[in-house]
Structure formats: C-alpha cells, structure tokens
Amino acid sequence: MGLSQKMVEFKMMSSGSVSRLYIRKNVQDSEVSAKKRSNTEEIKVSSKRQKRENDAEEIREESVNHCSSRESKCENHIKEIEELKENHRKEIEELKENHIKETEELKEKLKAKEREFERICENHLTEELKEKLKAKDREVEAQDKMISNLKKKLKKK
C-alpha cells in the first residue's frame, strides 16, 4: 500500500461538472514513511501529484477568471438593458408628443374645413333663395301683366 489518499471534489461553475482529485500527504526527503513505497514509485507519484495540483490550480484560476468575466458581462448587459429601456421611454415620449401635435393640427384643419363648408352651404342657400326669389318675381310680373291686361279689357267693355 502507498500513502493514504483523500478525495477532493471541484465543481465547475460554468458547466456544472464535477472533477475529483485524490491527494496524499508528502513526507520530507529526510523522513522515511513506513507506508512509503520504493523511491522510483514515489517519483512517479510525486510527478503525477504535482501535475494534478497544477491542473487543479489552473482550474481554480480559470473558474475565478470565468466568474469575474461572467459577472462583468452580466453588469454590461444590465447597463445595456437599462440604456435601452431609457431610450425606449424617450422614444415613446417623443412619439406621444408628436402624436398630440399632429392631432391638434388635424383638429385645426377640420375646424377650418367645417367653417369653409358652412360658408359654402350658406352661399349655396343664398344663391338658391335668390333663384327662388327671382322666379317668384317673374311670377309676380307675369301675374301683374295678366291683371293689367284684364283691367284693360274691362275698361274697353
């Protein structure tokens, strides 16, 4: 048997995967452990352990860097969302103001058209009444002529 080992788990924040490492306590070069294997095996184990430690350290650094870059990305996205919301709110306000102005302009145009229509109607009615009046005048003149002709005939008799 070799030295006793302990399992350590690392959870990756980005992917959610779990990595497991087995670690063991090293003894000093001058110390001799009763459980220690031959020197050649220890060198191999030591280099594997060193590689695993380096890998674990790299993973931890990557994880920290990934988290901090992820946080800054989130902060940037939040800022961008807030800017977009503000721009959207401003655009809506501008559209409302433009709509109100356009509505007021259209109301004024409608009032002007209504006044023009009323004037045209009044002119039309006036012209129509004038025509009727002229027709009545012609009728009266015709009746006056008839009456005067009848009076002349009566005087002759």
Token code pair at residue 99: 């709509």
56 exposed, middle or buried (CB, 10 Å; 0-12, 13-18, 19+)? Answer: middle
Residue pLDDT, tens place only, 9-37: 888 788 888 888 888 777 666 666 655 55
pLDDT of the residue at 74: 84
pLDDT of the residue at 100: 96
Helices (H), 7-38: none
pLDDT of the residue at 105: 96
Polymer length in residues for the chain: 157
User: Residue 38: pLDDT above 60?
Assistant: no
Indicate the domain borders of the chain.
71-151
Q: Which residues pair with 11 in a beta bridge?
A: 18
Residue pLDDT, tens place only, 116-157: 999 998 988 888 899 999 999 999 999 999 999 999 888 887
User: Residue 6: pLDDT above 80?
Assistant: yes
User: CA–CA separation, 37 vs 22, rounded Å?
Assistant: 17
28 DSSP 8-state letter: P
Helices (H), the chain: 39-156
User: CA–CA separation, 122 vs 128, rounded Å?
Assistant: 10
- Reported as a pLDDT band with limits 50, 70 and 90, residue 43 is very low
Of 35 and 57, the one with more pLDDT: 57
- The residues, ordered by sequence, that sit 6+ positions from 59 with a Cβ below 8 Å of its Cβ are 10, 12, 19
